[in-house]
Structure 1
Amino acid sequence: MMAKIRVNHFGSKTIDTNATVNWETLLTEIFIAFLLGVFAYMGYKAKILLLFVSCAIISLVIILSLFYPISLRVKELIAAEKNKDQNEVEK
């Protein structure tokens, strides 16, 4: 007779991918861009073209992609300030 084995499988649970705060995401992206920039620099110094080009391109793309959420946040702050000023004038 075979023994029954009970296995708890925790790998199939869903997770919330939006659990991080925006500034945590930005800091993570900045850190990754910094690391890739260091790798690109070391590839340049060691004259390894493949390492230099790939890391430099990805680092630049990450740095450029950081401007979008920052610009959205600045727009939100400006709009909130305008609404605040308009509410003060109406009172």
Structure 2
Amino acid sequence: DAGPVVEELARKHRLQDRVRLIGRLPYVDMMRHTRCADLGLTLDKDSNLNYRYSLPNKLFDYLHAGIPVLATDLPEVAAIVRRFDAGVVLP
């Protein structure tokens, strides 16, 4: 769970009023919040083959919600983001 790290970074950079962590929600509620978001994050580490070659569901949730995606440069995720011009892939 990255929540504590994100909260600490928000505090450190004085962004508490711009970052909102809401925890786990039922899918319908999660999608309602996702559609209101400014950006979807899929920032997985290239730590094993599963992360390297899998596609997280959240990527498709972001595409469905019509919000831009900020993603790490994992091959499959990057290919989708670039193919559909859905956001930015970090180097």
Structure with more of its chain in helix, by fraction: 1
Structure with more of its chain in strand, by fraction: 2
Indicate whether the TM-score tops 0.5: no
TM-score (structure 2 length as normaliser): 0.31
TM-score (structure 1 length as normaliser): 0.31
